Structure 1
């Protein structure tokens, strides 16, 4: 399911207009993104939690030349599914 399909399904489920659903979904995505850039954890009870983690610097290999190259440390967003979501998917 892509974003457009999600918007359509939410609109059908709630009876809200597609425009209002799109505004709400975009606002939620923007707020989650802003929180993660500020290294704040976003937890949605029953669904899961979004947070950032630091991926340590490591050595990689250039596949073309075989040369070792350093890969710098970076912050990455991660999602951890909540128990209710895990249980729903497992059934």
Structure 2
């Protein structure tokens, strides 16, 4: 499902126009991105959490040059679905 598909579904279910739905989705994504950039998690009860995970420093290999490089510690965004969301997906796939 793409962003356009989500906008279409929201307009069908709520009756608001596509421009308003698109602006709302864009604003939501901006708020989530800004929160994660500022190292703040976003919790949506019944849906899941957008969290910042910290990755430790590690050693990797560049196979083509046969050298070792160090990848520094860094943060990555992640999504953790809620228990009810996970259970609903599991039940649907059975």
TM-score range, shorter chain: over 0.9
Per-residue deviation, residues 57-87 of structure 1 (Å, max 9, x unmatched) = 1011112122111111111011111011101
The equivalent residue for 2:82 is: 82
The equivalent residue for 2:57 is: 57
SS at match of 2:49: strand
The equivalent residue for 1:7 is: 7
Gaps of 5+ in 2: none
Normalised by the length of structure 1, the TM-score is 0.94
Query: What are the residue-to-residue correspondences of 1:15-54 with 2, within 5 Å?
Result: 15-54=15-54
Normalised by the length of structure 2, the TM-score is 0.91
Gaps of 5+ in 1: none
Question: Considering only aligned residues, what root-mean-square deviation do their CA atoms show, in Å?
Answer: 0.9
Per-residue deviation, residues 29-63 of structure 1 (Å, max 9, x unmatched) = 00111111111111000000111121111011112
